[in-house]
Chain A
Amino acid sequence: MAIFSQEEAQALMKKALSFSKADECEISFSGSIGGNIRYARNSVSTSGSVSQTQMVIASAFGKKQGTVTLNEYDDASLEKAVRKSEELAQLAPENPEFMNYLDPQTYDPLNPKLYDAKTGDMPPKIRTDMVAQSLQVAKDNNLTAAGFLQNQGAFSSTMNSHGLFNYNKSSDINFSITLRTADGKGSGYASRDFEDYNDMDTLKLTKIAAQKATGSVTARAIEPGKYTVILEPSAGIVLLEQLYGGLDARSADEGRSFLSKKGGGTKLGEQLVDPRVNIYSDPMDPRLPTSNYTGDGQPAVKRSWIEKGVVKNLFYSRYWAKKKGVPEVPYPGGFIMDGGDQSLEDLIKGTEKGILVTRLWYIRPVDPQTLLYTGLTRDGTFYIENGQIKFPVKNFRFNESPVIMLNNLEALGKTERAVSGESFQSALIPPMKIRDFTFSSLSDAV
């Protein structure tokens, strides 16, 4: 039984807490069930299922903390684990940054879209059928498919000796597909991630990848340099997540962030990017449901991070907030960037000369001072002229900062859900038209 109900989880954790003799005790209990199919060369390569649970018991005496884990939940095992965590806490060095466990919190109701029981417990046959549809597209178009389909159901719960309790269930299905032409000269990609498997259309996504693959054959080499680009959401997300993931107060305060200012201080409250940029988080958004509490147990609320291009909020850990005498601002479960009214096709139509980018790959930091990243285009890169896709082009390496990129914003399309091929996190991202995007060299890769 990898998915414990709220009542079952609560009863077990309550029992464990009853054994505690520490100043404070906190218990985290989680578990998941899931399965996957990976396929390549138009055939299944690996496939499996995993079921697991774990309970983590943390005890604290003053600023000394000890933790143990267990996956046996009889009374004797629970008591033994609590005792061990207490022993370890007594032996541990003091952590000056230790924060007392949270008092009881008030949470909004869970987003009803966060969990779908059927997605968590999908039988192998449904997975196989979804993949069969995808494989058929590849075979019908004389293409070679490599893809991955994974579903998971999970629960997570925390209880502590101050009376805090939270519990949630979540489900997830993610799919990604790469199709390559038989001669290896074309490649296309599509990916999506949802909470409900009924939203996942492997057929439609594979058809998109097929179109990209056949359309990208005989790519031409054009000179690297600065170009107007249209980044599809699956491309844009991997750069945007470097920006919003880096909105950390402590590193900015310490002077080692792109948000640090010369002479001290941070860019909080300052104009950082184009005024059309709005990035926020909202756990209740039905398009991107996230938990009603954050990773450290605080209530998750709707919060603006960048508003009209101004840095509106930075993440403040509980310790750093206390040190700075400001409210805590926990890291959210997901990010949303507002878009415009234009479709991707509209953005292309309005482009005199530019490059359409399907996907960016192997994104790595180059300079944290400017948030400069490098990486490459992949799986469908096309030249646009006079509002039309004219021909596929060879892939490029870029060296670009998302801060510079969002200052060179030309237009935003309609926001849609995308999943990062780097972090595997989902976000709501619009397609973005950017001027002067820096391509520094050519790649022969297909």
Chain B
Amino acid sequence: MNRKNFIYLTGMGIGGAMLKGIPVIGAPISVEQALGGGIDVALKKRMADVALTAARAKGATYTDVRIGRYLRQFVVTREEKVQNVVNTESFGMGIRVLANGCWGFAAVDKLDNDSIAKAATAAVAIAKENARIQSEPVQLAPQKGYGEVSWKAPIEKNSFEVPIKDKVDLLLKVNDTAMKAGSNYVTSIIFSVNEQKYFASSDGSYIDQDVHRIWPTFYATKIDTKTGKFQTRNALSAPRGLGYEYLTPSDSEKIKGMPTPLYRDRYDMIEDAGFAGAQGGEKIAAKSVEPGKYDLVLDPSHLWLTIHESVGHPTELDRVLGYEANFAGTSFLTLDKWKSGKFNFGSKNVNIVADKLQKGSLGAVGYDDEGVKCGRWDLIKDGVLVNYQTIRDQAHIIGLNASQGCCYADSWSDVQFQRMPNVSLQAGKTPLTQNDMIKNVEKGIYIVGDSSFSIDQQRYNFQFSGQLYYEIKNGKIAGMLNDVAYQSNTQEFWNSCVGVCDQSDYRLGGSFFDGKGQPQQVSAVSHGSATARFNGVNVINTARKI
């Protein structure tokens, strides 16, 4: 699934997703089909062996096979109406081979022995053809075969097993709550994902994985017909690697005492909708920001996106090396900066970790899409760049003899390549709450929720906006602001980080739609942090007249 299709199915254009316009995957199926267990693992192994054998016979020196069944469910409501209930399924096989030192790939959705063998043959033919213009052979980091293993997301309640009626009832209640509180229009959605992925390789791995994700969200719009102004307040939920348990409200998972409730591992969608309904009108009436330098206090519901764009992407080794130059760009974090061992990415408060195992995160899996067991490692340590994210055919470039397990494909029909793991700012070690942090700010803005985001092709210059902006004057929140966006340069911004709240404030944000590659693919990734303070950041006013 992709943002374009997501918007089509939900019948609206939205901001806040990561990507625009990529090829369609998935097609509608019934609930009954979605609850089916898919193909038996023994049959998948037999299918994979057909591909492995056929590719080897044609001259492949390495082959991996991914059999994917990708299930997605959208339940979409608008005001008092059910707009759409759609289950989609995408099923097929992707075969990647190395032949004559070059990669080749073919994908097929008819999985009889003949079609599989033909696809394997095609992949080898493509590899051999392309080897003519290959400057140097692919160098794969060694990877031991794991034999037959499996991994399953540790969810409590499979969202696909929850009756549609329960979801519809919840969403209609959300809409009603927001409208009673002041919204004119509300769209609400529960988007559930289940990736049933089977991986096999000529290294001897046969890996069966079951990945679950969920994203409950809404968009509540308030219109002032007198002035013609309108404002939308989006949900403060996060897409998560959880089951339907995420939608069971829990007081212990709420952060209270701020202008709007904030949520950790359980989300109270109805409560959030009530606040959103009221805040639409507040946003319209809010004072337009005076441009200038402010100390920013950034909530994790906002900061995740800044981390994603300014830390996650520039530490991707393929981008550093130039593999993304034609689309998403390169990176300012060049190899010489890493080699120096002292490149000052941020202040001492900045510790950023890559983690493919984090429970409840979008990027959590047991093994990546080229059969590498996943792990956790430092990217930025005490403000210094110490590592990148990489995969098997690039690991040797930074002196590694094994991949870090960052390979992913968004469907069976796309070739796997380097995608970012969960990348998160570590909480501060000294006890510090949001209120403690705000107390010490003389002239600042507290920003909650994500909105507009844009960064240059080497990840220097960025501009971000949020959902809610609160002016901070002399240590106190002094009311709502509007028309706020901040601009900065990545290194400058992270060096202005003067504090990070403690672990009690740590939360995950993330995206279902991180876009990269050609043909473009999406991946789902989480970014955790506690609230952080950045001093002297340039804020612009975005109000215009047409």
A residues adjacent to B (C-beta < 8 A) = 35-54, 56, 58, 66-69, 71, 84-85, 87-88, 91-97, 124-125, 128, 131-132, 135, 144, 146-148, 150, 176-178, 180, 184, 187, 189, 254-256, 258, 260-264, 361-372, 374-376, 378, 395, 397, 399, 401, 403-404, 407, 420-425, 440-446
Whether the Cβ atoms of B126 and A255 lie closer than 8 Å is no
Given A444-B461, A445-B461, A40:B322 Cβ within 8 A:
yes
Residue in A264, A365, A378, A446 whose CB lies within 8 Å of B452: A365
Q: Give CA–CA (A395, B106) in the complex, Å.
A: 39
Instruction: Point out the residues of chain B lying under 8 angstroms from A187, CB to CB.
Output: 325
Q: Which residues of A contact B202 (CB under 8 A)?
A: none
Least CB distance, B86 to chain A, in whole angstroms: 7
A40-B322, A366-B465 known, 4 other contacts, Cβ within 8 Å: A69-B29, A124-B125, A364-B454, A445-B459
A1 to B281, CA, bound (A): 56
B415 within 8 Å of A by Cβ? Answer: yes
Known: A43-B136, A397-B463. A66 touches B30 (CB 8 A): yes
28 contacts between A and B (CB under 8 A): A36-B518, A38-B326, A41-B135, A46-B415, A48-B104, A49-B105, A51-B108, A54-B27, A67-B28, A71-B91, A84-B32, A92-B164, A255-B223, A256-B232, A364-B15, A364-B454, A370-B545, A372-B542, A372-B544, A374-B463, A376-B457, A378-B456, A395-B456, A397-B454, A404-B544, A424-B22, A444-B332, A445-B461
Q: A132-B132, A263-B225, A401-B546 are contacts. A446–B518 as well, Cβ < 8 Å?
A: no
* In the A-B complex, the 5 residue pairs with the closest CB atoms: A48-B105, A262-B228, A69-B27, A67-B28, A443-B461
Q: Does B133 contact A128, Cβ atoms closer than 8 Å?
A: yes
- Asked if B194 is at the interface of the complex by the 8 Å CB criterion, the answer is no
Nearest Cβ distance between residue B364 and chain A, in whole angstroms? 25
Q: Does any Cβ of A come within 8 Å of B230's Cβ?
A: yes
> Which residues between 69 and 110 of chain B lie within 8 Å of chain A, taking CB atoms?
81-86, 88-89, 91-92, 96, 102-110
**Min C-beta distance of B62 to chain A, whole Å:** 14
Known A370-B545, A445-B329; contact A68-B463, beta-carbon cutoff 8 A: no
Across the interface, which residues of B come within 8 angstroms of A92, CB to CB?
85, 164
Q: Interface on B for A, CB 8 Å cutoff? A: 15, 20-22, 27-33, 81-86, 88-89, 91-92, 96, 102-110, 122-123, 125-127, 129-130, 132-136, 164-165, 168, 184-185, 221, 223, 225-230, 232, 321-327, 329-330, 332, 334, 413, 415, 417, 452-461, 463, 465, 483, 485, 487, 489, 517-520, 538, 540, 542-546
Chain A, Cβ-Cβ closest to B455: A362
On chain A, the residues within 8 Å of B453 by CB distance are: 364
B82 in contact with A93 (CB, 8 Å): yes
Selected from B30, B103, B126, B454, the residue in CB contact (under 8 A) with A68 is B30
Q: How far is the CB of B127 from chain A (nearest CB, A)?
A: 7
Q: Which chain B residue has the least Cβ–Cβ distance from A441?
A: B487
Q: Which residues of B contact A422 (CB under 8 A)?
A: 20-21
Q: Is the CB of B123 within 8 A of A370?
A: no
A365 to B20, CA, bound (A): 12
By a CB distance below 8 angstroms, the chain B residues around A48 are: 96, 104-107, 123, 126, 415
Q: A residues within 8 A CB of B109?
A: 51-54, 71
Query: Closest approach, in angstroms, between the C-beta of A364 and any C-beta of chain B?
Result: 5
Q: Are A41 and B321 in contact (CB under 8 A)?
A: yes
Cβ-defined contact, B460 with A444, below 8 A:
yes
> Which residue on A lies nearest to B105, using beta carbons?
A48
Known A260-B228, A367-B542; contact A423-B460, beta-carbon cutoff 8 A: no
Q: How far is the CB of A322 from chain B (nearest CB, A)?
A: 15
Chain B residue, CB-CB nearest to A191:
B326
Question: Known contacts A44-B134, A263-B225: does B544 contact A95 (CB below 8 Å)?
Answer: no
**Chain B residues with CB under 8 A of A440:** 463, 487, 540
The CA-CA distance from A36 to B453 in the complex, in Å, is 30
Q: B326 touches which one: A95, A177, A369, A399 (CB < 8 A)? A: A177
* Chain A: CB-nearest residue to B84: A95
Indicate if the CB atoms of A47 and B127 lie closer than 8 Å: yes
Q: Which residues of A contact B413 (CB under 8 A)?
A: 50, 52
Residues of A within 8 A of B164 (CB): 91-93
Q: Say whether B134 contacts A43, CB under 8 Å.
A: yes
Residue numbers in B under 8 Å from A131 (CB-CB): 133
Contacts of A43 in B (CB 8 A): 133-136
A59 to chain B, nearest CB (A): 11
CB-CB under 8 A from A364, the residues of chain B are: 15, 452-454
Q: In the bound complex, do residue B323 and residue A40 qualify as a contact, i.e. CB atoms below 8 Å apart?
A: yes
> Are A88 and B454 also in contact (CB < 8 A) when A41-B323, A67-B86, A261-B228 are?
no
Contact A370 to B544, CB < 8 A, known contacts A41-B321, A395-B456, A397-B463: yes
- A375 and B454 contacting across the interface, CB-CB below 8 Å: yes
B546 close to A403 (CB less than 8 A): yes
Contacts of A45 in B (CB 8 A): 103, 323, 417
